Amino acid sequence: MLLEVRGLTKRFMGLTAVSDVSFTVEPGEIMGIIGPNGSGKTTLLSMMAGLLAPTAGAVRWQGEEIQHLRPDVIAARGIVKTFQNPQVFAELTVFDNAMVATHLALKRSRGARRLGELVGLGRAAERTLAGQVAEALALCNLGGATRQLAGNLSYGEEKMLGLAMALMCRPRLLLLDEPASGLGREEIDNLVAVLTKVHAAGATLCIVDHKVGFLRGIARRVIALDHGEKIAEGPPEAVLENPAVIEAYLGRAHAPA
Amino acid sequence: MTQLVLGQVLNGAIIGAMYGIIALGITLTFGITGIVNFALGEFMMIGAYATYALAERFGWPYPVAVVPACLIAAAAGYLANKAFFRFTRNNLVNGLLVSIGLISILESAALLFWTATPLEMHFVLPGALRLGEVGLPKMKLVVFAVILAVIVLTYLGLARTWLGRAAFAYAQNPEAAMLMGVHTPRLETAVMLYSTGLAGLGGALYASLYSLEPAMGGVYVLKGMEAAILGGIGSLMGSLWGGVILGVIEGVGSIFLPTAFRDAYGLAILVAILLFRPAGLFGTE
Amino acid sequence: MILRLVLWSALYALPIFVRSDFLLTILIFTFIYGMLGVTLDLIFGFTGQLSMFHPAVFGVSAYMTYLLASKAGLPFWLATIPSALTAVVLAMIVGSICFKFRLKTFYFAVVTLAFAEVIRLVVLNWNSVTNGTLGLVVTGRPTVWLPGMGVVAIKGPVAWYYLTLVSLTLTVIVCARCLSSWMGRCFGAIRLNEDLARTLGIDVFRYKLASFAVGNALASFAGGLYGYYTAYIDPGYLSINQSMDVLAMVLLGGQGTLIGPIVGSLVLTSLPHVIDLRAEARAILYGAILIFTILVMPRGIVGTFNAWRARRAA
Ligand SMILES: Nc1ncnc2c1ncn2[C@@H]1O[C@H](COP(=O)(O)OP(=O)(O)O)[C@@H](O)[C@H]1O
Ligand SMILES: [Mg+2]
C-alpha cells in the first residue's frame, strides 16, 4: 500500500464537500476517481496533496500520516498534483516554467552542494536539468513553444505544461485533476501516451475525471464519488454498471460517456 | 494611581478608537473596492488642520467647524480616488505605493503650510467630571461618546444596508465576493467618501484634545494597520476593537514602562497575539 | 550583455577623464543609494516582498561600523562584517515572524515598517551609545585592505568613488549570482505564484527568508559607507523617509532589474543637486514621481527601455 486515505472529510462552512472517504492506492497502479461536477473530487485530491487541511480523517503515505504537512514537504516526499484549471507562471517562458519545477530534482541530486552554483560551480547539473526539461516539454508536445510566455499558451497547452512541470518533480504518486478536460482528440491521445510512459517508468497514477470514457481506457480500478461520499469502487466496467453511479450521473442529466 | 490608570485607559481608548477608525476605513475600502488606501491617516490630518483653521483662524465655534472639516477631508478623498486610487484596484502593492507617494506629498504640503511646530487649539470644553477621587476631563468624555456613537451607527449601517452587507459578505468570503463582483463605481465613491470623511472626523475630534503635527497621519495609519492585523484581517469590528486594545495597551503600558518606547508595546502585543492566534483576535482561519 | 559591460567599464574609467568633484560626489551618493536600491529590489522586485526594513539595517550598520571602528579599534573593512551579521540576525527575526504568519503585500510592508520604527526608537533613546538625536560625528577614514598595497585609508573623491563603485559592483554581482542560480528561480516563482511554487516543492518560507537576509546583509554595507562618507550619523538614517526614497529609486529605475535601481538612484540623487529645492518641496516631488511612475510607467525607466528594445528586435 503506497497511500491510504482514511475517513477523510472536508467541510466548508456547513457544506460537506468530502464526507468520510476511505480508499487505498497500491504501488504501480493507475487508479481513477469519477463523480459528477461538484462531487468533491478536486477537494479530495487537494487534501491528499496538502493544499487543503482536512476537517477530519487521515492520509497515510507509506504508513506515515501526512495530512498536516505543508504542500512543499508532501511534494518532496513524491506526491505531486496537477490542477484542473491549469496553474502556470504566466510571465515566464514555457522553458523557465519547467525549470522552476526542477527544484526538487536538483535538491535531491545535489543537496547543499547547490550552494556551489553561487560561485559558478555546478553548471553541469544545470545543463543536465535543462536537457531533461527540453525532453519533458517535447514529450508533452510543447517542444515548439519553449520560448513562448506561458501566459500566451492555449488552455490545452497550459494544461500540458502543468503536466510537464509535475513530471519534472519526479513524482512517485502523480495526482491528476481532470487532465483530459479542455483537450482536443489528438491532445488526448498524446496525453494517454505520456501517462502510459510515465507509468511504465514506475510512477503510480491517480486520475480524476468526470468523463468516464477517458478513464476506462487506462485505469484498472476506479472509485466513484457523489455528494462527497464514496458510492462505489472496483474495475471501471463494474463501477459504471453500479446503479448508484448511474443514478448519480443520470439523476443530474449527465449520461455516462 | 487609580486616577493615573483610569486616565490612561480613557486616553488609550480615545486614541485607540482613532486607530480603529483608520483600520475600519482601510478594511472597508479594501473589502468593497479592492483598493488599498494606506494614506487614510493623511485625511485625518486634513480633517484636524481644517478644524484648527476654521476654529482658530476664522473663529468658528468648534462644533460648527467639525462638519465642514469632515466634508473637506471627504472631498480630498474623492479627488484622490478619481485621480489615483481607482487605477490601483485589485493591486495591493500599487495601492500601497501610490499611498506612500500621497503621504509624502500631503505631509510635506502640510509642513510647508503649517510648519513642523505643533499646534494646539484652545480648550473647547474645559473642566473635568469628578467620580470619587478620579477626575475625567469633560472633553475627552464627549469625544469618546461621539466616537462610540459613530461606531454604533457604522455598525448598524453595515448590518442594515446593502453596502454593509456587501462588506460583511466580503469579510466572510473575499473570494466569493470578488467573484460576484461586489463593486460598482457608485459603491466605490460612497466607500471612499465615507472612509475619508470618517478619518476627517477622527482628525477633527483629535484636534480638540491633542496637538497637531503634519506627521500625525503617518503615525496613525501605521497604528491603524497594526490594529487591523491585530483584530483579524478583513474583520470590520475586529479592526475597531483591535484599535481600542492597541490604544489602551499603549496608554497603560507607558505608565509602567518607559514612554519613549510606547510605540513598541503595541507591536510586541501584536506579535504575541499572532503567535497564538495567527488569524488575529477576531479573524477566522 | 555587451551594453552592460560597456556601461560598467565606462563607470570605472570615468575618473580618468572627469575630475569634477561635483560630479564625483553625485556619483558616490548614487552608488551608495544604488546598493540600497539593488538589495531592496532583490527582496521586492525579484521576490515580491515589499520590505520597509531597509532603513533599520542601513542605520544600525552605520552606527555599528563606526562604533566598532572607533571604540573597539577594528579597521573599517573588518568592522563591516559584524554589522552585516547583525543585519542578518535582525532580518532573520523580523522575516521569520512575518513569513511564518504569511504576511504579504501591504501587511508585510506595514509590519516590517513597524519593526524598523521600533529599532529607530531604540537607537534614538540609547543615549549612552548613540548620543540620541544629536548623533555622532564620524572621525577617521575608512581603511581597506588591498592586495599588494596593504591597508590604505580612503581619502579624496577619487578614492571614495572607487570604494563605493567597487562595493556597488560586488553587491550587484552577489545579487546576480543568486538570481541566476536555482535560488533566483525560487524567488521568481514565489513572486509570481506562491501557491504554485509550494506545490512544486519549493519551501516558500525558507526562500523568502533567504532573499530577505541576503538583501539586508548587503544593504548593511551601504550603511557603513554612508556614515563614513557623510562623517555624521543620526537617527534620521532609520527614518521612514529613507524607505520611501529608496523605493522611489527602485520603481523609477525599474523593479525586477539589477540596473534599474542604480539608474533610479542616479536620477533621484542628482535631482536635488541640479535643481535646488528645500526638503519639503523635494519630498513632494519624490511623491509625485512615485505616483507618476506607478500609474504611468509601471516598469520604470529600464523596464520600459528593455520592452522598447525587445519590441524593436521582434
Ligand atoms: N474553497 C471552497 N469554499 C467553499 N466551497 C467549496 C470550496 N471548494 C469547493 N467547494 C464546494 O465543494 C464541493 C465540491 O467541489 P469540488 O471538489 O471542486 O468538486 P469536483 O472537483 O468534483 O467538481 C462543491 O459544492 C463546491 O462548491
Ligand atoms: Mg474539480
- Classify C103 as helix, strand or coil: coil
pLDDT tier for residue A256 given thresholds of 50, 70 and 90:
very low
Give helix then strand counts, H and E, for chain C: 14, 4
Report the 10 Å Cβ neighbour count for C15.
18
Interface touch C107/B218, C-beta < 8 Å: no
Do C203 and C43 meet the contact criterion of CB atoms below 8 Å apart? no
The answer, yes or no, to whether residue C215 has pLDDT greater than 70, is yes
Q: Does A88 touch chain C (CB under 8 A)?
A: yes
Residues B109-131, mean pLDDT to the nearest whole number: 83
Q: How far apart are CA C97 and CA A116, in angstroms?
A: 29
- Classify B134 as helix, strand or coil: strand
Which of C268, C291, C292, C297 to probe the B interface (max B CBs under 10 A)? C291
DSSP code string of chain A: --EEEEEEEEEETTEEEEEEEEEEE-TT-EEEEE--TTSSHHHHHHHHTTSS--SEEEEEETTEE-TTS-HHHHHHHTEEE--SS----TTSBHHHHHHHTTHHHHHHHHGGGGGGGGGT--HHHHHHHHHHHHHHHHHTT-GGGTTSBGGGS-HHHHHHHHHHHHHHT--SEEEEESTTTT--HHHHHHHHHHHHHHHHTT-EEEEE-SSHHHHHHH-SEEEEEETTEEEEEESHHHHHH-HHHHHHHHTTT----
Describe the crossing of helices B262-276 and C105-125 by its angle, rounded to 10 degrees: 140
The answer, yes or no, to whether residue C211 has pLDDT greater than 50, is yes
pLDDT given for residue A208 in this prediction? 94
Distances (CA, A) of C46 to A106, A117, C85, C187, C188: 21, 19, 23, 6, 6
Dump pLDDT digits (tens) for A134-165. 999 999 989 888 899 999 999 999 999 999 99
Residues B232-246, mean pLDDT to the nearest whole number: 82
Residues C228-239, mean pLDDT to the nearest whole number: 91
Cα dihedral C220, C225, C226, C232 in deg (nearest 10) = 110
The answer, yes or no, to whether residue C293 has pLDDT greater than 50, is yes
pLDDT tier for residue B172 given thresholds of 50, 70 and 90:
low
pLDDT given for residue A60 in this prediction? 94
Interface touch A72/C177, C-beta < 8 Å: no
> Which residue bears the cell 442594515?
B160
Domains of chain B and CATH, by start = 2-276 (1.10.3470)
Helix ranges (H only) for chain B are 2-33, 40-52, 62-83, 92-114, 138-160, 162-172, 174-179, 185-209, 216-231, 236-256, 262-276
pLDDT given for residue B240 in this prediction? 85
The answer, yes or no, to whether residue B84 has pLDDT greater than 70, is yes
Residues C20-24, mean pLDDT to the nearest whole number: 90
Distances (CA, A) of C175 to A206, A208, B127, B136: 41, 43, 62, 58
A216 is written with which cell numbers? Answer: 476506462
- Of A102, A103, A87, A101, the C-alpha closest to A151 is A87
Pick the more confident residue, A121 or A62.
A62
Class of domain A79-170: alpha beta
Residues A224-229, mean pLDDT to the nearest whole number: 91
Give the nearest partner residue to B97 out of C114, C117, C294, using CB atoms. C294
- Of C131, C109, C116, the C-alpha closest to C60 is C116
pLDDT tier for residue C219 given thresholds of 50, 70 and 90:
very high
Residues 6 or more apart from C287 whose CB is under 8 A from it? B100, B101, B102, B103, B104, B105, B108
Dump pLDDT digits (tens) for A7-44. 999 999 889 999 999 999 999 999 999 998 889 999 99
Q: Does the C-beta of A43 come closer than 6 Å to ligand 1?
A: yes
Ligand nearest the Cα atom of residue A38? 1
* Side chain identity, residue A57: G
Q: How far apart are CA C158 and CA B229, in angstroms?
A: 49
Describe the crossing of helices B216-231 and B2-33 by its angle, rounded to 10 degrees: 80
Residue A11 CA, ligand 1 centroid: distance in Å: 10
pLDDT tier for residue B188 given thresholds of 50, 70 and 90:
confident
The answer, yes or no, to whether residue C310 has pLDDT greater than 90, is no
Do A194 and A163 meet the contact criterion of CB atoms below 8 Å apart? yes
Q: Does the C-beta of A17 come closer than 6 Å to ligand 1?
A: yes
Q: The complex's ipTM? A: 0.90
Class of domain A1-69+174-179+205-257: alpha beta
Residue B122 is classified by DSSP as P
User: H or E element: which one contains C57?
Assistant: helix C54-70
Mean pLDDT, chain C, as a whole number?
91
Residues B167-190, mean pLDDT to the nearest whole number: 65
pLDDT tier for residue B283 given thresholds of 50, 70 and 90:
low
Q: How far apart are CA C238 and CA C55, in angstroms?
A: 4
First-residue to last-residue Cα distance in chain A: 31
Dump pLDDT digits (tens) for B43-82. 999 999 999 999 988 888 988 999 999 999 999 999 999 9
Give the nearest partner residue to A118 out of C177, C189, C192, using CB atoms. C177
Cα dihedral C61, C259, C190, B27 in deg (nearest 10) = 70
Mean pLDDT, chain B, as a whole number?
83
Pick the more confident residue, A44 or B266.
A44
Residues 6 or more apart from C81 whose CB is under 8 A from it? none
Domain count, chain C: 1
Q: Which atom of ligand 1 is nearest to the CA of A39?
A: 22
pLDDT given for residue C4 in this prediction? 85
Residue B175 CA, ligand 1 centroid: distance in Å: 13
- Of A42, A79, A39, the C-alpha closest to A231 is A39
pLDDT tier for residue B175 given thresholds of 50, 70 and 90:
low
User: H or E element: which one contains C233?
Assistant: strand C232-233
DSSP code string of B73-111: HHHHHHHHHHHTGGGGTT-HHHHHHHHHHHHHHHHHHHH
- Of C307, C44, C57, C300, the C-alpha closest to C187 is C44
Q: How far apart are CA C266 and CA C274, in angstroms?
A: 12
Domains A1-69+174-179+205-257 and A79-170 share a fold: yes
Q: How far apart are CA C119 and CA C96, in angstroms?
A: 17
Q: How far apart are CA C155 and CA C152, in angstroms?
A: 9
- The domain containing residue C106 runs over which residues? 21-237
In percent, the amount of chain C with pLDDT more than 90 equals 60
Dump pLDDT digits (tens) for C166-199. 999 999 999 999 999 999 999 999 999 999 999 9
Which range among A74-78, B85-89, B154-158, B207-211 has the greatest average pLDDT?
A: A74-78
Q: Does the C-beta of A35 come closer than 6 Å to ligand 1?
A: yes
Q: Which atom of ligand 1 is nearest to the CA of A41?
A: 22
Mean pLDDT, chain A, as a whole number?
89
In percent, the amount of chain A with pLDDT more than 70 equals 97
Q: How far apart are CA B59 and CA A39, in angstroms?
A: 70
pLDDT tier for residue A75 given thresholds of 50, 70 and 90:
very high
User: Mean pLDDT lowest for which of B195-199, B235-239, C216-220?
Assistant: B235-239
pLDDT given for residue B181 in this prediction? 59
pLDDT given for residue B134 in this prediction? 74
pLDDT given for residue B171 in this prediction? 53
Q: Does the C-beta of A85 come closer than 6 Å to ligand 1?
A: no
Residues C60-69, mean pLDDT to the nearest whole number: 94
In percent, the amount of chain B with pLDDT more than 90 equals 24
Pick the more confident residue, C128 or C31.
C31
> Domain boundaries in chain A?
1-69+174-179+205-257, 79-170
Q: How far apart are CA A119 and CA A64, in angstroms?
A: 39
pLDDT tier for residue B285 given thresholds of 50, 70 and 90:
very low
Residue A226 CA, ligand 2 centroid: distance in Å: 12
Residues 6 or more apart from A139 whose CB is under 8 A from it? A164, A167, A194, A197
φ, ψ for residue A158, nearest 5 deg: -60, -40
Residue A191 CA, ligand 2 centroid: distance in Å: 19
Ligand nearest the Cα atom of residue A43? 1
Q: How far apart are CA A44 and CA A5, in angstroms?
A: 10
Q: Does the C-beta of A62 come closer than 6 Å to ligand 1?
A: no
Contacting residues of C for B79, CB less than 8 Å apart = none
